[in-house]
Amino acid sequence: MRSKPGHSVLGEQRASGLLLHVSSLPGAHGHGDLGREALEWLDFLADAGQRYWQVLPIHPTGPGNSPYSGVSAFAGNPLFISLDRLAGEGLLTKVELGKPLPQGHIQFARARKHRLPLLRMAFARYRDKPRPYTRELAAFRERARYWLDDYCLYMALKQRRPSQSWSDWEPALRSREKKALSAARSELAEQIAYYEFEQLMFDRQWRALREHASERAVQLIGDIPIFVAHDSSDVWAQQACFQLDARGRPTSVSGVPPDYFSEDGQLWGTPLYDWRALKRQRYTFWVERIRALLDRFDLVRLDHFIGFERYWQIPATAKTAREGRWQRGPGRDLFDVATKTLGPLPFIAEDLGEMSPDVEQLRDQLGFPGMRVLQFGFGSDASNAFLPHNYLRSCVAYTGTHDNNTMLGWLKDVASAGELRKVREYLGSEREPSAEKLGAQLVRLLLSSVAQLTIVPVQDVLGMDDRARMNVPGQADDNWSFRVPRGALGKQLAKSLLQMTRVYGR
């Protein structure tokens, strides 16, 4: 869906959707993927009257398994490739797939140990009989020509030295001398072909998923992190676009000042862009990044929108984000260039955190809807922008995001007595209902709001507590592992959601 200048990217009709990452789907191979369970999830959404599925970033993750710190801003996560679909194409056998792994929260190391050798087996059969994929491969190479070769070579080099950052490679490879790159491509041709195979399989399965979504009238919402990891194919391939020293190491890194989530701020540690260099290149890296996302999604949540107007620059040697300072971002210039190349941009601006009039002005000039989070609405008075009576029609409203506790977890364990009192007063509760009832009422409250689009994390629809939380900002371990219990997304839940969606004209 593309917007016309002056029109909302959300269209004219009220709608609702659910937030659930691909990895959180049920499945037999350690976590969710693009197979049967994903198609069934789309069917559930359609049956429940939900017209949007929002996911977290879908690129390959690095250490810590965070979708917001990947080894590529362009590639798809190979661990999301459906092994069952590969078996259906004859690239694997049912015997090779083995017994189903346990359900429950994701055990990332176990899932990788199970999945990656099977992808290698499938590649070997693909190499023996590549003809059925020849045309698809040629078309895919053309669509991915900006990033695919660099990504595959980077991954092949990383396989040879997995614990070493590219900035510690020998100087010729680190600085991308043509002779060294050519020699590496010859030496690692087989490994490069394997990583290309992974991306081809991801691409064809994602396209099948998107086609099924279109058939069920469900639109896909992606997520584009503003920053990329230092040890990534992107930074290695586009070093001039980042604030790096002569050895390729960051001189300044990203983060945010102290806020609701962390009293020391958040030290993300990813390298910052050299926006002047990017401007001289007509923002090619960003234009191509956006092009790739729009090839996969109907709408895109633009993470940390504030960073395009001003960003928090932290010295690379700093211990906390408190040591940072504000710097000017590219502002509207980046989006004007991208719009001239790609057309109107269907973005949702993640405008949470410390806002200012200049950031709000940029968002409004660009016509991007902002976000409202209901969970933030009860910590002050009636002027709180996160309370539904203050919502704008052109916003996307959430009960919470992937960084929040679940609504039930917040009500039970985090909300103060004053916040709980305000929740009950806002809902008009004469008695003190249970946290479970309050959580369900808050979901209904969100859908009844004036917001053009509402998105509810599936944990809040299911009434799950803090054990189902997706991420705790600033916490290094035990994040991103939530999975939907098998059988939880049944017909009765779909019927209940459909009824509520119809009541509120979504």
Q: Are 133 and 90 in contact (CB under 8 A)?
A: no
In-domain check, residue 2: no
Question: DSSP string spanning 45-66?
Answer: HHHTT--EEE----SPB-TT--
Q: Catalytic one among 37, 231, 351, 403? A: 403
In-domain check, residue 265: yes
Both structure tokens of 280: 């001289």
How many domains does one find in the chain?
A: 1
Which percentage of the chain shows pLDDT scores above 90?
A: 90
Specify the pLDDT at position 5. 37
CA distance 50 to 28: 26
In-domain check, residue 91: yes
In-domain check, residue 284: yes
In-domain check, residue 10: no
Cα 359–448–53 angle (5° rounding)?
65
Residue 418 CB contacts under 8 Å (≥ 6 apart), including other chains: none
CA distance 57 to 300: 10
In-domain check, residue 482: yes
When the pLDDT of each residue in the chain is averaged and rounded to a whole number, the result is: 95
CA distance 396 to 386: 11
User: For the domain that residue 35 is a member of, what is the CATH number?
Assistant: 3.20.20.80
Specify the pLDDT at position 353. 79
Both structure tokens of 202: 């991801």
Q: Are 37 and 25 in contact (CB under 8 A)?
A: yes
**3-class DSSP state of 457:** strand
Both structure tokens of 417: 């007595």
Report, as ranges of residue numbers, the positions in the chain whose pLDDT lies below 70. Answer: 1-7, 260-261
Specify the pLDDT at position 261. 64
> What are the backbone dihedrals phi and psi of residue 61, each rounded to the nearest 5 degrees, phi first?
-90, 155
- What pairing do the DSSP bridges indicate for beta strands 299-302 and 347-349? parallel
pLDDT tens-place string over residues 163-191: 899 999 999 999 999 999 999 999 999 99
Q: Give the structural domain span for 472.
A: 15-503
Specify the pLDDT at position 293. 97
Both structure tokens of 468: 């189902």
Half-sphere exposure of 6 (CA within 13 A, CB side): 0
Q: Is 403 a catalytic residue?
A: yes
Specify the pLDDT at position 130. 84
CA distance 506 to 504: 6
Q: Is 190 a catalytic residue?
A: no
Q: Catalytic one among 37, 350, 351, 465? A: 350
Longest dimension (CA), the chain: 76
Helices (H), 355-415: 357-366, 407-409
Specify the pLDDT at position 475. 81
CA distance 19 to 500: 17
Nearest partner of 445 among 428, 431, 463, judged by Cα? 428
In-domain check, residue 5: no
Both structure tokens of 196: 């290309």
270 alpha-carbon distance from chain centroid: 16
pLDDT tens-place string over residues 269-298: 999 999 999 999 999 999 999 999 999 999
Q: Catalytic one among 37, 150, 198, 303? A: 303
**3-class DSSP state of 184:** helix
Q: At which residue do the structure tokens 């259906």 appear?
A: 88
CA distance 427 to 418: 14
Nearest partner of 198 among 352, 82, 288, judged by Cα? 82
Q: Is 303 a catalytic residue?
A: yes
